[in-house]
Amino acid sequence: MSMFPVNKGGDILAWRDTVELVDGVKRKLSEKMAYLLDGDELVLLQDLQGRIEEEMAVEYRFAEDAGQVLAALETAGTVDEMVAAYRHGRQLSTDYFDRRGSVLVVQSLCIRLQDRLTCRAVLLASEWMERSGFGPPPAPYCWFAFGGAGREEGTVAGNFNALLVHGEVHGESAAYFAGFSLRVNAILENCGVKSAGGITPVHPSWRGSINEWRTRLIGGAAGEKTQEDLSFLVRFADLRLVSGDSTLCGEMINLIRSLFEFNRRGFDEVARVTAEMATGLDFFGRLRLEKGGEHRGEFNLGQYALNPLMENIRIMAVRADVPLTANVGRIKGLLEKGHLGVDLSQRLLRACHDFTSLKLRSEMRHNSGGEGVFLKPEELDDCEMDSLKEGMEAVVNLQRIVYQRFVVSS
Protein backbone atom coordinates (compact mmCIF):
# COMPACT_ATOMS: atom_id res chain seq x y z
CA MET A 1 0.00 0.00 0.00
CA SER A 2 1.35 3.37 -0.98
CA MET A 3 1.57 6.05 1.68
CA PHE A 4 1.05 8.89 -0.78
CA PRO A 5 -2.34 8.93 -2.57
CA VAL A 6 -2.97 11.57 -5.22
CA ASN A 7 -5.83 10.39 -7.41
CA LYS A 8 -8.83 9.58 -5.24
CA GLY A 9 -9.70 5.91 -5.68
CA GLY A 10 -7.02 5.56 -8.36
CA ASP A 11 -4.98 2.45 -9.07
CA ILE A 12 -1.49 2.37 -7.58
CA LEU A 13 0.00 2.70 -11.08
CA ALA A 14 -1.87 5.99 -11.50
CA TRP A 15 -0.43 7.56 -8.38
CA ARG A 16 2.05 10.32 -9.06
CA ASP A 17 4.94 8.99 -6.99
CA THR A 18 4.80 5.62 -8.73
CA VAL A 19 4.52 7.18 -12.18
CA GLU A 20 7.47 9.47 -11.47
CA LEU A 21 9.56 6.52 -10.22
CA VAL A 22 8.84 4.37 -13.28
CA ASP A 23 9.36 7.27 -15.69
CA GLY A 24 12.64 8.13 -13.97
CA VAL A 25 13.93 4.56 -14.30
CA LYS A 26 12.94 4.48 -17.98
CA ARG A 27 14.67 7.80 -18.62
CA LYS A 28 17.91 6.79 -16.88
CA LEU A 29 17.87 3.45 -18.68
CA SER A 30 17.40 5.10 -22.06
CA GLU A 31 20.23 7.55 -21.36
CA LYS A 32 22.55 4.70 -20.41
CA MET A 33 21.61 2.45 -23.35
CA ALA A 34 22.22 5.24 -25.86
CA TYR A 35 25.98 4.91 -25.25
CA LEU A 36 26.25 1.10 -25.16
CA LEU A 37 27.85 -1.10 -27.78
CA ASP A 38 25.81 -3.59 -29.77
CA GLY A 39 24.82 -6.49 -27.49
CA ASP A 40 25.55 -4.68 -24.24
CA GLU A 41 21.93 -3.54 -23.99
CA LEU A 42 20.77 -7.11 -23.34
CA VAL A 43 23.49 -7.62 -20.72
CA LEU A 44 22.36 -4.47 -18.91
CA LEU A 45 18.70 -5.50 -19.00
CA GLN A 46 19.50 -9.01 -17.79
CA ASP A 47 21.50 -7.58 -14.89
CA LEU A 48 18.60 -5.28 -14.03
CA GLN A 49 16.20 -8.22 -14.20
CA GLY A 50 18.44 -10.22 -11.86
CA ARG A 51 18.52 -7.41 -9.31
CA ILE A 52 14.73 -7.06 -9.43
CA GLU A 53 14.34 -10.80 -8.90
CA GLU A 54 16.66 -10.59 -5.87
CA GLU A 55 14.51 -7.85 -4.37
CA MET A 56 11.33 -9.80 -5.10
CA ALA A 57 12.86 -12.81 -3.35
CA VAL A 58 13.49 -10.64 -0.27
CA GLU A 59 9.83 -9.59 -0.24
CA TYR A 60 8.54 -13.14 -0.71
CA ARG A 61 10.81 -14.41 2.07
CA PHE A 62 9.75 -11.61 4.42
CA ALA A 63 6.05 -12.28 3.76
CA GLU A 64 6.56 -16.01 4.35
CA ASP A 65 8.54 -15.50 7.57
CA ALA A 66 6.03 -12.96 8.89
CA GLY A 67 3.17 -15.34 8.15
CA GLN A 68 4.92 -18.15 10.03
CA VAL A 69 5.54 -15.95 13.08
CA LEU A 70 1.91 -14.80 13.18
CA ALA A 71 0.73 -18.40 12.83
CA ALA A 72 3.05 -19.45 15.68
CA LEU A 73 1.52 -16.78 17.92
CA GLU A 74 -1.95 -17.94 16.92
CA THR A 75 -1.30 -21.48 18.17
CA ALA A 76 1.17 -20.87 21.03
CA GLY A 77 0.19 -22.96 24.03
CA THR A 78 2.64 -21.57 26.57
CA VAL A 79 4.12 -18.22 27.48
CA ASP A 80 7.58 -19.47 26.45
CA GLU A 81 6.29 -20.22 22.95
CA MET A 82 4.71 -16.77 22.78
CA VAL A 83 7.95 -15.10 23.88
CA ALA A 84 9.99 -16.97 21.24
CA ALA A 85 7.57 -16.17 18.41
CA TYR A 86 7.20 -12.52 19.38
CA ARG A 87 10.96 -11.99 19.65
CA HIS A 88 11.42 -13.58 16.23
CA GLY A 89 8.79 -11.22 14.83
CA ARG A 90 10.47 -8.16 16.34
CA GLN A 91 13.80 -9.23 14.83
CA LEU A 92 12.11 -9.64 11.44
CA SER A 93 10.76 -6.09 11.76
CA THR A 94 14.17 -4.68 12.69
CA ASP A 95 15.96 -6.49 9.86
CA TYR A 96 13.37 -5.38 7.30
CA PHE A 97 13.53 -1.78 8.46
CA ASP A 98 17.33 -1.83 8.23
CA ARG A 99 17.07 -3.02 4.62
CA ARG A 100 14.04 -1.09 3.35
CA GLY A 101 13.39 1.77 5.77
CA SER A 102 9.67 1.15 5.26
CA VAL A 103 7.77 2.68 8.17
CA LEU A 104 4.32 1.44 7.14
CA VAL A 105 5.37 -2.18 6.66
CA VAL A 106 7.26 -2.32 9.95
CA GLN A 107 4.47 -0.62 11.90
CA SER A 108 1.91 -2.92 10.32
CA LEU A 109 3.85 -6.05 11.25
CA CYS A 110 4.56 -4.80 14.78
CA ILE A 111 0.91 -3.99 15.44
CA ARG A 112 -0.21 -7.36 14.04
CA LEU A 113 2.31 -9.09 16.27
CA GLN A 114 1.09 -7.17 19.32
CA ASP A 115 -2.58 -7.74 18.46
CA ARG A 116 -2.04 -11.46 17.89
CA LEU A 117 -0.01 -11.70 21.08
CA THR A 118 -2.73 -9.90 23.05
CA CYS A 119 -5.48 -12.13 21.69
CA ARG A 120 -3.49 -15.21 22.69
CA ALA A 121 -2.74 -13.76 26.13
CA VAL A 122 -6.45 -13.04 26.65
CA LEU A 123 -7.33 -16.62 25.72
CA LEU A 124 -4.66 -18.21 27.92
CA ALA A 125 -5.59 -15.93 30.83
CA SER A 126 -9.28 -16.83 30.59
CA GLU A 127 -8.41 -20.55 30.46
CA TRP A 128 -6.16 -20.15 33.53
CA MET A 129 -8.92 -18.31 35.42
CA GLU A 130 -11.36 -21.14 34.73
CA ARG A 131 -8.88 -23.87 35.71
CA SER A 132 -8.09 -21.98 38.91
CA GLY A 133 -11.71 -22.01 40.03
CA PHE A 134 -12.78 -18.50 39.01
CA GLY A 135 -15.05 -19.81 36.28
CA PRO A 136 -15.65 -18.33 32.82
CA PRO A 137 -15.96 -14.56 32.32
CA PRO A 138 -19.12 -13.42 34.15
CA ALA A 139 -19.97 -10.87 31.45
CA PRO A 140 -18.96 -9.93 27.90
CA TYR A 141 -15.79 -7.86 27.66
CA CYS A 142 -13.63 -5.92 25.20
CA TRP A 143 -9.87 -5.45 25.32
CA PHE A 144 -9.15 -2.19 23.48
CA ALA A 145 -5.87 -0.78 22.21
CA PHE A 146 -5.46 2.88 23.14
CA GLY A 147 -3.10 5.73 22.28
CA GLY A 148 -0.37 4.83 19.81
CA ALA A 149 -1.45 1.18 19.73
CA GLY A 150 -5.00 2.30 18.95
CA ARG A 151 -3.64 4.41 16.10
CA GLU A 152 -1.85 1.30 14.79
CA GLU A 153 1.56 2.83 15.46
CA GLY A 154 3.31 -0.49 15.98
CA THR A 155 6.69 -0.23 17.66
CA VAL A 156 9.64 -2.58 18.03
CA ALA A 157 9.94 -1.30 21.61
CA GLY A 158 6.67 -3.04 22.50
CA ASN A 159 4.85 -0.03 23.99
CA PHE A 160 1.15 -0.94 24.08
CA ASN A 161 -1.56 1.01 25.93
CA ALA A 162 -4.87 -0.74 26.60
CA LEU A 163 -8.14 -0.52 28.49
CA LEU A 164 -10.90 -3.00 29.36
CA VAL A 165 -14.66 -2.58 29.07
CA HIS A 166 -16.98 -5.28 30.41
CA GLY A 167 -20.66 -5.86 31.06
CA GLU A 168 -22.33 -5.30 34.40
CA VAL A 169 -21.10 -7.55 37.23
CA HIS A 170 -22.06 -7.74 40.90
CA GLY A 171 -20.79 -9.26 44.13
CA GLU A 172 -17.90 -11.71 43.86
CA SER A 173 -18.07 -11.54 40.07
CA ALA A 174 -16.82 -7.96 40.22
CA ALA A 175 -13.34 -9.19 41.20
CA TYR A 176 -13.03 -11.45 38.16
CA PHE A 177 -11.85 -8.81 35.71
CA ALA A 178 -9.25 -7.46 38.13
CA GLY A 179 -7.58 -10.88 38.32
CA PHE A 180 -8.09 -11.45 34.61
CA SER A 181 -6.38 -8.15 33.75
CA LEU A 182 -3.44 -8.96 36.02
CA ARG A 183 -2.99 -12.31 34.30
CA VAL A 184 -3.14 -10.87 30.78
CA ASN A 185 -0.75 -8.08 31.68
CA ALA A 186 1.74 -10.50 33.26
CA ILE A 187 1.82 -12.58 30.07
CA LEU A 188 2.33 -9.51 27.88
CA GLU A 189 5.10 -8.11 30.08
CA ASN A 190 6.86 -11.49 29.98
CA CYS A 191 6.87 -11.12 26.20
CA GLY A 192 8.23 -7.56 26.35
CA VAL A 193 4.96 -5.73 25.69
CA LYS A 194 3.97 -3.13 28.26
CA SER A 195 2.64 0.40 28.70
CA ALA A 196 5.34 2.98 29.37
CA GLY A 197 2.68 5.32 30.77
CA GLY A 198 0.89 2.74 32.92
CA ILE A 199 -2.24 2.75 30.75
CA THR A 200 -3.34 -0.83 31.33
CA PRO A 201 -6.47 -2.56 32.71
CA VAL A 202 -4.44 -3.62 35.74
CA HIS A 203 -5.25 -0.14 37.07
CA PRO A 204 -8.94 0.41 37.96
CA SER A 205 -8.88 3.73 36.08
CA TRP A 206 -8.45 1.81 32.82
CA ARG A 207 -10.92 -0.98 33.60
CA GLY A 208 -14.66 -0.89 34.19
CA SER A 209 -18.18 -1.78 33.13
CA ILE A 210 -19.80 0.03 30.24
CA ASN A 211 -21.85 2.06 32.73
CA GLU A 212 -18.74 2.95 34.73
CA TRP A 213 -17.07 4.14 31.53
CA ARG A 214 -20.18 6.14 30.64
CA THR A 215 -20.00 7.90 34.00
CA ARG A 216 -16.27 8.59 33.65
CA LEU A 217 -16.56 9.99 30.15
CA ILE A 218 -19.70 12.03 30.71
CA GLY A 219 -18.21 13.37 33.94
CA GLY A 220 -19.94 16.61 34.85
CA ALA A 221 -22.14 16.71 31.79
CA ALA A 222 -24.71 18.74 33.67
CA GLY A 223 -22.14 21.46 34.28
CA GLU A 224 -19.26 23.01 32.39
CA LYS A 225 -16.61 20.66 31.09
CA THR A 226 -13.05 21.86 31.49
CA GLN A 227 -10.57 21.86 28.64
CA GLU A 228 -8.76 19.01 30.43
CA ASP A 229 -12.00 16.95 30.47
CA LEU A 230 -12.46 17.44 26.74
CA SER A 231 -8.79 16.76 25.96
CA PHE A 232 -9.16 13.46 27.83
CA LEU A 233 -12.36 12.62 25.95
CA VAL A 234 -10.90 13.30 22.50
CA ARG A 235 -8.17 10.71 23.16
CA PHE A 236 -10.89 8.05 22.91
CA ALA A 237 -10.98 8.64 19.17
CA ASP A 238 -7.92 6.36 19.16
CA LEU A 239 -9.81 3.41 20.67
CA ARG A 240 -9.48 0.17 18.63
CA LEU A 241 -10.87 -3.27 19.48
CA VAL A 242 -8.27 -6.03 19.77
CA SER A 243 -10.25 -8.83 21.41
CA GLY A 244 -13.74 -9.29 22.77
CA ASP A 245 -17.45 -8.94 22.20
CA SER A 246 -18.46 -7.04 19.05
CA THR A 247 -21.83 -5.94 20.46
CA LEU A 248 -20.24 -4.43 23.56
CA CYS A 249 -17.60 -2.82 21.34
CA GLY A 250 -20.33 -1.21 19.25
CA GLU A 251 -21.97 0.11 22.41
CA MET A 252 -18.70 1.68 23.59
CA ILE A 253 -17.94 3.23 20.20
CA ASN A 254 -21.48 4.62 19.94
CA LEU A 255 -21.11 6.12 23.42
CA ILE A 256 -17.90 7.87 22.41
CA ARG A 257 -19.33 9.18 19.14
CA SER A 258 -22.44 10.50 20.87
CA LEU A 259 -20.23 12.33 23.38
CA PHE A 260 -18.15 13.76 20.53
CA GLU A 261 -21.32 15.10 18.93
CA PHE A 262 -22.67 16.45 22.23
CA ASN A 263 -19.40 18.28 22.95
CA ARG A 264 -18.83 19.43 19.38
CA ARG A 265 -18.62 23.12 20.24
CA GLY A 266 -16.54 22.44 23.32
CA PHE A 267 -13.91 20.82 21.14
CA ASP A 268 -13.19 24.25 19.65
CA GLU A 269 -11.18 25.03 22.79
CA VAL A 270 -9.30 21.74 22.41
CA ALA A 271 -8.62 22.73 18.80
CA ARG A 272 -7.26 26.11 19.93
CA VAL A 273 -4.85 24.52 22.41
CA THR A 274 -3.82 21.93 19.83
CA ALA A 275 -3.26 24.53 17.12
CA GLU A 276 -1.06 26.52 19.52
CA MET A 277 1.17 23.58 20.49
CA ALA A 278 4.84 24.46 20.18
CA THR A 279 6.57 22.80 17.26
CA GLY A 280 10.26 22.12 16.87
CA LEU A 281 11.44 25.22 15.00
CA ASP A 282 12.11 28.56 16.63
CA PHE A 283 11.60 31.98 15.02
CA PHE A 284 14.89 31.63 13.11
CA GLY A 285 14.11 28.13 11.80
CA ARG A 286 16.45 26.37 14.23
CA LEU A 287 15.60 23.25 16.24
CA ARG A 288 14.29 23.79 19.76
CA LEU A 289 16.77 21.95 21.97
CA GLU A 290 16.53 20.99 25.62
CA LYS A 291 18.19 23.67 27.76
CA GLY A 292 18.96 21.49 30.78
CA GLY A 293 18.73 18.07 32.37
CA GLU A 294 20.02 14.75 31.09
CA HIS A 295 18.87 15.57 27.53
CA ARG A 296 20.48 19.01 27.35
CA GLY A 297 21.23 19.96 23.74
CA GLU A 298 18.91 17.25 22.36
CA PHE A 299 15.68 17.51 20.36
CA ASN A 300 12.44 16.10 21.83
CA LEU A 301 10.91 14.39 18.80
CA GLY A 302 7.69 13.44 20.57
CA GLN A 303 6.92 16.83 22.09
CA TYR A 304 7.84 19.00 19.12
CA ALA A 305 7.08 16.82 16.08
CA LEU A 306 5.11 13.59 16.58
CA ASN A 307 2.57 14.89 19.12
CA PRO A 308 1.65 18.17 17.36
CA LEU A 309 1.18 16.25 14.10
CA MET A 310 -0.92 13.50 15.69
CA GLU A 311 -3.07 15.76 17.88
CA ASN A 312 -3.91 18.25 15.12
CA ILE A 313 -4.81 15.45 12.72
CA ARG A 314 -6.92 13.78 15.42
CA ILE A 315 -8.97 16.87 16.32
CA MET A 316 -9.58 17.53 12.62
CA ALA A 317 -10.68 13.91 12.12
CA VAL A 318 -13.04 14.09 15.11
CA ARG A 319 -14.63 17.33 13.90
CA ALA A 320 -14.88 16.03 10.32
CA ASP A 321 -16.39 12.66 11.40
CA VAL A 322 -13.52 10.60 10.01
CA PRO A 323 -13.84 7.36 12.03
CA LEU A 324 -10.37 5.96 11.28
CA THR A 325 -7.74 5.73 14.01
CA ALA A 326 -4.40 5.61 12.16
CA ASN A 327 -2.70 8.91 11.25
CA VAL A 328 -2.24 7.88 7.63
CA GLY A 329 -5.87 6.79 7.33
CA ARG A 330 -7.06 10.02 8.94
CA ILE A 331 -5.02 12.18 6.56
CA LYS A 332 -6.38 10.26 3.57
CA GLY A 333 -9.91 10.55 4.98
CA LEU A 334 -9.55 14.31 5.44
CA LEU A 335 -8.23 14.58 1.88
CA GLU A 336 -11.17 12.61 0.48
CA LYS A 337 -13.65 14.82 2.36
CA GLY A 338 -11.99 17.98 1.07
CA HIS A 339 -10.67 19.19 4.43
CA LEU A 340 -7.03 18.99 3.27
CA GLY A 341 -5.49 19.77 -0.10
CA VAL A 342 -3.40 17.29 -2.07
CA ASP A 343 -0.08 19.09 -1.56
CA LEU A 344 -0.41 19.47 2.22
CA SER A 345 -1.72 15.90 2.53
CA GLN A 346 1.39 14.55 0.84
CA ARG A 347 3.65 16.73 2.97
CA LEU A 348 1.91 15.51 6.14
CA LEU A 349 2.17 11.88 5.03
CA ARG A 350 5.88 12.37 4.43
CA ALA A 351 6.16 13.99 7.85
CA CYS A 352 4.47 10.93 9.39
CA HIS A 353 6.98 8.72 7.63
CA ASP A 354 10.05 10.80 8.42
CA PHE A 355 9.19 11.45 12.08
CA THR A 356 8.35 7.79 12.69
CA SER A 357 11.46 6.64 10.87
CA LEU A 358 13.59 8.72 13.24
CA LYS A 359 11.66 7.30 16.20
CA LEU A 360 12.13 3.69 15.05
CA ARG A 361 15.84 4.20 14.43
CA SER A 362 16.22 5.72 17.90
CA GLU A 363 14.37 2.79 19.49
CA MET A 364 16.55 0.28 17.68
CA ARG A 365 19.76 2.16 18.42
CA HIS A 366 19.10 2.72 22.12
CA ASN A 367 16.78 -0.25 22.78
CA SER A 368 14.36 2.17 24.43
CA GLY A 369 10.62 1.82 24.86
CA GLY A 370 9.69 4.93 26.81
CA GLU A 371 7.44 7.76 25.73
CA GLY A 372 10.27 10.22 25.14
CA VAL A 373 12.43 10.11 22.02
CA PHE A 374 15.36 12.51 22.07
CA LEU A 375 17.61 13.11 19.07
CA LYS A 376 21.14 14.45 19.04
CA PRO A 377 21.33 16.94 16.15
CA GLU A 378 24.94 16.02 15.43
CA GLU A 379 23.85 12.43 14.72
CA LEU A 380 21.41 13.53 11.98
CA ASP A 381 22.70 13.71 8.42
CA ASP A 382 21.73 16.59 6.12
CA CYS A 383 18.88 14.64 4.53
CA GLU A 384 17.38 13.69 7.90
CA MET A 385 17.69 17.26 9.17
CA ASP A 386 16.02 18.68 6.05
CA SER A 387 13.19 16.12 6.24
CA LEU A 388 12.65 16.88 9.93
CA LYS A 389 12.42 20.63 9.30
CA GLU A 390 10.18 20.23 6.24
CA GLY A 391 7.87 17.98 8.23
CA MET A 392 7.56 20.49 11.05
CA GLU A 393 6.81 23.25 8.53
CA ALA A 394 3.96 21.08 7.22
CA VAL A 395 2.66 20.67 10.78
CA VAL A 396 2.69 24.46 11.25
CA ASN A 397 0.62 24.82 8.07
CA LEU A 398 -1.80 22.23 9.45
CA GLN A 399 -2.07 24.15 12.73
CA ARG A 400 -3.01 27.30 10.82
CA ILE A 401 -5.87 25.43 9.14
CA VAL A 402 -7.07 24.00 12.47
CA TYR A 403 -6.98 27.44 14.10
CA GLN A 404 -8.74 29.18 11.22
CA ARG A 405 -11.44 26.54 10.82
CA PHE A 406 -12.29 25.72 14.42
CA VAL A 407 -11.26 28.79 16.39
CA VAL A 408 -11.55 31.90 14.21
CA SER A 409 -14.53 30.70 12.16
CA SER A 410 -16.43 29.51 15.24
Decide if 357 is inside a domain.
Answer: yes
Q: Quote the pTM value.
A: 0.88
**CA-CA distance, 305 to 312, in Å (whole number)?**
11
Decide if 286 is inside a domain.
Answer: yes
**CA-CA distance, 285 to 307, in Å (whole number)?**
19
Q: What is the rounded average pLDDT for all residues in the chain? A: 90
Strand (E) or helix (H) holding 142: strand 141-146
**CA-CA distance, 178 to 380, in Å (whole number)?**
45
For 333-354, the pLDDT digits (tens) are 999 999 999 999 999 999 999 9
Span 7-30, average pLDDT: 67
**What pLDDT, on a 0 to 100 scale, did the predictor assign at position 222?**
40
**What pLDDT, on a 0 to 100 scale, did the predictor assign at position 15?**
63
Q: Does the structure show a pLDDT above 70 at 11?
A: no
**What pLDDT, on a 0 to 100 scale, did the predictor assign at position 368?**
60
Cβ atoms 231, 144 nearer than 8 A: no
**CA-CA distance, 324 to 331, in Å (whole number)?**
9
Nearest to 118 by CA among 175, 205, 192, 197: 192
In degrees rounded to 5, what are phi and psi of residue 287? -65, 140
**What pLDDT, on a 0 to 100 scale, did the predictor assign at position 3?**
53
Q: Beta-carbon neighbour count of residue 78 at 10 Å?
A: 9
Decide if 88 is inside a domain.
Answer: no
**CA-CA distance, 334 to 356, in Å (whole number)?**
20
For 36-71, the pLDDT digits (tens) are 778 788 888 888 888 899 999 999 999 999 999 999
| Three-class SS state of 343 | helix
**CA-CA distance, 18 to 16, in Å (whole number)?**
5
**What pLDDT, on a 0 to 100 scale, did the predictor assign at position 298?**
95
Domain extent for 358? 123-408
**CA-CA distance, 91 to 95, in Å (whole number)?**
6
Single-letter amino acid code for the residue at 98: D
| Three-class SS state of 295 | coil
Decide if 228 is inside a domain.
Answer: yes
**CA-CA distance, 294 to 139, in Å (whole number)?**
47
For 19, 37, 381, the CA distances from 48, given in Å and listed in that order, are 19, 17, 30
DSSP letter for 7, please: S
**What pLDDT, on a 0 to 100 scale, did the predictor assign at position 178?**
96
Strand (E) or helix (H) holding 254: helix 246-262
**CA-CA distance, 98 to 103, in Å (whole number)?**
11
Packed helices 327-336 and 342-366: angle between N→C axes, nearest 10 degrees: 180
**CA-CA distance, 20 to 220, in Å (whole number)?**
54
Decide if 89 is inside a domain.
Answer: no
Cβ atoms 227, 270 nearer than 8 A: yes
Decide if 157 is inside a domain.
Answer: yes
Q: Does the structure show a pLDDT above 60 at 135?
A: yes
Reported as a pLDDT band with limits 50, 70 and 90, residue 370 is: low
**What pLDDT, on a 0 to 100 scale, did the predictor assign at position 2?**
53
Span 405-409, average pLDDT: 86
Burial of 63 (0-12, 13-18, 19+ CB in 10 A): exposed
DSSP letter for 284, please: T
Decide if 135 is inside a domain.
Answer: yes
Number of domains in the chain: 1
**HSE (side-chain half, CA atoms, 13 Å) at 200:** 22
